[in-house]
Amino acid sequence: MSQEELLKVEGLSVTYYGPPDVEAVHHASFDIKRGEIFGLAGESGCGKTTLIAALTRLLPDNGAVTAGSIAFAGADWLHMTPPEVDAWRWQKISLVSQSAMNSLNPVISVGDQIVDAILAHRPNTPKREAWERAEALLRMVEVDPKHVHSFAHELSGGMRQRVMIAMALALEPDLVVMDEPTTALDVVVQAQIIHQVRSLQERLGFSVIFVTHDMSLLLSIADRMAIMYAGEIVELGSRERLNRHAAHPYTRGLIDSFPSVFEKKSRVGIPGAPPSMVTPPPGCRFHLRCPERLSVCDVAVPEERVLDSGGHRVRCHLYSVDALRQGSHD
Amino acid sequence: MRYILRKVLFYGVALWAAVTLNFVLPRMMPGNPAEILLARFKGRVNPAAIHAFLIAFGLNVHQTLFQQYLSYLGQLVRGNMGISITYYPEPVSQVLAQALPWTLLLIGAATIISFFLGTLAGIVSAWHRGGWFDSFAPGVFTLTSSFPYFWFALLALYFFAYRAGWFPLGEAYSGTRASFAISNWPDLMYHTALPAFTIVFTSIGGWLLSMRNNMITTMGQDYILMARAKGLPRRRVMYQYAARNAILPNMTGFALSLGFIVSGALLTEIVFSYPGLGYTLLQAVQNEDYPLMQGTLLLIAVAVLFANFVVDLLYVRLDPRVRNE
């Protein structure tokens, strides 16, 4: 795997204008290397979908990036004009969205929708060639190519998601954003699709941002991952590090709340509910639910600490020496 | 194919029901048309003539109701719907055949123009939600849709035809030039423009609002987001992805209004003295002209069924989901 940087997000904040105004993503920083699968995990409402919308420049009209920058393939992505962005869409960055069920236009055929994307960006492609490409893409995700003439309602959930993946790869983009691509599917189909993504990614070498709330899934597929809580990235590190040495109490809680397929252990979970994003709690945003809370957590916002040379970072007072010295457990 | 077959069957049964109701209803009403006709001649008719009338109107008292029904069906198949009392001795079919083209021209053109303009305005309005067009069009056209039609039509007639003299005061053609020859079209347009305008102006709001609402719902769908993510040209997203789906629920409403074209716009035809079917129906009602009423109502029923049938077939093309229903 090359270590060349494809995408670098720095200090990104996104606000939805209300009333009330909600800052759904606060000061998020991470980078994605070429050819890696980068996982993004967190509970519902933690801001992962908003972060994805900002990355794909698909924020709704009432949402805006209020701070930070995104460098994508060497360009200042946030300052590109809409026509420039449109030209880059699908060629450089494509999307597999949350619900495969509703992501296909119900009244035009699957092939039409793939060809649409090809012709929008490569208008000189002969029609026949575009359709042959659509068939080849379906074959690549192991869907019978005769389904280019099928409509969404004629396909099963798993097939639709495969079609979405095929469509996302139509123009061989550098980055494929997958927003909970398997959430709506049963576990067997889920496993097949994950396997497929993995092998396509190894073959074609694109990068993936894989968004999910399923930690165990992420631990099996992602090279590196970031954990989000209440709009912030609270921990970021390689799969190996997070698997063995998850640092943030929230990350550990997430890992413990999912049953493992391979080993038997009791599920602990995280007590309480995510905080309001309108008025996030003072201090550490997680302190109200944290089992290892210090008195300093209530008042001071934790700084980000780097824990190892591999870039394992955590935003938690437990790893700040000063705080440990001063504070004590409640 | 099974879908089409089922539709054909359904409309066949509906047609039979309409025809039968059309036979039953007038017979449940008090009095009979022959007596009304006789009343007009003030009794100066001999009994043999009365009997001839009764037979002519299909009211042979020596037949059972079922025999009457059979002969009614038989006559209908041959296009014989009896003789009009108002336009005696013209047969009903001929009266209808004279009025129908005018109604199709005026109300048909107005309905189709209204649907297309309203739908287009709804698409644009929803797509640029909160923009300048969206901030005035829905309001203005809701207002015009709530005008009482006859009031608006009379105003338009008064100002644009009577005062300004831009349009004729009524009728569908000048003098006796009741022809659909190409050379006569400027004259027909001249007569049709104002009544058509009043219909479009007062009906466009409904199409606009329902299309705008459908569009807004559709634009929230994931496939619109995906189309944008694909970097498709805006126009393509707007028409091929959003409008193409949003228009489906409106097609049913359009089918109904297409069917009702035939019933004519009664008020329009009265205000503009337009020789269409609505006007004919009014004449029939005023003169207790049962055969003509029956014929008109049957024509309307058939037209509504036919329009719905056509739209159902069109639906198969527009919405692939009904094909394997």
Over its length of 325 residues, how does chain B's per-residue pLDDT go in tens digits?
Answer: 788 888 889 999 999 998 898 888 877 776 666 666 667 666 566 777 777 766 666 666 667 788 888 888 888 888 888 788 788 788 888 999 888 888 888 988 999 999 999 999 999 999 998 889 999 999 999 899 888 888 998 999 999 988 988 988 877 787 777 777 778 888 888 888 999 999 999 999 999 999 999 999 999 888 998 999 998 988 899 999 999 999 998 888 888 888 777 776 788 888 888 888 888 888 888 887 878 888 888 888 888 888 888 888 888 888 888 876 5
H helix intervals, B88-243: 92-103, 109-127, 132-145, 149-156, 185-219, 222-229, 234-236
What is the phi-psi region of residue B42: left when phi exceeds 0, alpha when psi lies from -120 to 50, beta otherwise? left
* DSSP secondary structure code for residue A277 in this structure: S
CB-nearest partner of B321 from A94, A117, A153: A153
Query: Measured between beta carbons, which residues in chain B are less than 8 angstroms from residue A153?
Result: 320-321
Question: Closest approach of chain A CAs to the CA of B123, in angstroms?
Answer: 17
Query: Measured between beta carbons, which residues in chain B are less than 8 angstroms from residue A106?
Result: 223, 245, 319-321
Using alpha carbons only, give the angle B25, B274, B290 rounded to the nearest 5 degrees: 20
* pLDDT bucket at A271, cuts 50 / 70 / 90: confident
What ipTM was predicted for this assembly? Answer: 0.83
Contact (CB<8Å) B226/A103: yes
Residue A98 lies in a domain: no
Cβ distance B110 to B200 under 8 Å?
yes
Rounded Cα–Cα distance for residues A161 and A329 (Å): 47
Contact (CB<8Å) B232/A120: yes
Tell me the per-residue pLDDT of A301-313, one tens digit each, with 9 for 90 and over: 888 888 888 889 9
What per-residue confidence (pLDDT) applies to A321? Answer: 65
Helix (H) or strand (E) holding A321: helix A321-326
**How many Cβ atoms sit within 10 Å of the Cβ of residue B102?**
26
- Residue in A238, A215, A244 with CA at minimum distance from that of residue A312: A238
What per-residue confidence (pLDDT) applies to A147? Answer: 92
What per-residue confidence (pLDDT) applies to B120? Answer: 95
Find the range with the poorest average confidence among A169-178, A275-284, B119-128: A275-284
* pLDDT bucket at A252, cuts 50 / 70 / 90: confident
Give the number of domains in chain A.
Answer: 1
Residue A89 lies in a domain: no
Distances, alpha carbon A252 to alpha carbons A179, A292, A330, B260, in Å: 22, 11, 20, 68
Q: What residues contact A141, with CB distance under 8 A and at least 6 apart?
A: A162, A163, A165, A166, A196, A200
What per-residue confidence (pLDDT) applies to B170? Answer: 79
Side-chain-side CA neighbours of A50 within 13 Å: the count stands at 31
The SS3 call for residue A183 is coil
**Most confidently predicted of A176-185, A204-213, B31-40:** A204-213
Domain CATH for A222: 3.40.50.300
Size of interface A-B (CB pairs under 8 A): 77
What per-residue confidence (pLDDT) applies to B59? Answer: 64
| Two tokens, residue B121 | 């305005």
What per-residue confidence (pLDDT) applies to B279? Answer: 87
Question: Closest approach of chain A CAs to the CA of B243, in angstroms?
Answer: 11
Residue A42 lies in a domain: yes
- Nearest-by-CA chain A residue for B315: A107
Q: Does residue A328 surpass a pLDDT of 70?
A: no
Of all residues in chain A, what percent carry a pLDDT higher than 90? 35
Query: Measured between beta carbons, which residues in chain A are less than 8 angstroms from residue B230?
Result: 89-90, 94, 116-117, 120, 167
Q: Does residue A1 surpass a pLDDT of 60?
A: no
Which residues face A5 on adjacent strands?
A33
| Two tokens, residue B228 | 């944008």
* pLDDT bucket at A2, cuts 50 / 70 / 90: very low
- Give the N- to C-terminal CA distance of chain B in Å, as an integer: 11
CB-nearest partner of B226 from A97, A121, A153: A97
What per-residue confidence (pLDDT) applies to A51? Answer: 92
Rounded Cα–Cα distance for residues A104 and B10 (Å): 32
Taking the CA atoms of residue B234, residue B223, residue A202 and residue A138 in that order, the dihedral angle to the nearest 10 degrees is -100
Question: Closest approach of chain A CAs to the CA of B203, in angstroms?
Answer: 28
| Two tokens, residue A291 | 């089992």
**Structural domain spans, chain B:** 100-280
Crossing angle (nearest 10°) for helices B109-127 and B185-219:
30
What per-residue confidence (pLDDT) applies to B37? Answer: 65
**How many Cβ atoms sit within 10 Å of the Cβ of residue B321?**
15
- Residue in A220, A123, A218 with CA at minimum distance from that of residue A171: A123
Question: Closest approach of chain A CAs to the CA of B238, in angstroms?
Answer: 12
Contact (CB<8Å) A102/B222: yes
* pLDDT bucket at A158, cuts 50 / 70 / 90: confident
Tell me the per-residue pLDDT of A43-63, one tens digit each, with 9 for 90 and over: 888 888 899 999 999 898 889
Q: In Å, how far from its chain's centre is CA A20? A: 26
Q: Does A184 touch chain B (CB under 8 A)?
A: no
Rounded Cα–Cα distance for residues A234 and A26 (Å): 11
Rounded Cα–Cα distance for residues A277 and A285 (Å): 10
Rounded Cα–Cα distance for residues B163 and B153 (Å): 14
Residue A226 lies in a domain: yes
Question: Closest approach of chain A CAs to the CA of B294, in angstroms?
Answer: 42
* pLDDT bucket at A224, cuts 50 / 70 / 90: very high
Parent domain of A73: 5-80+212-326
Task: Just give the CATH number of B100-280.
Answer: 1.10.3720.10
Using alpha carbons only, give the angle A320, A324, A330 rounded to the nearest 5 degrees: 125
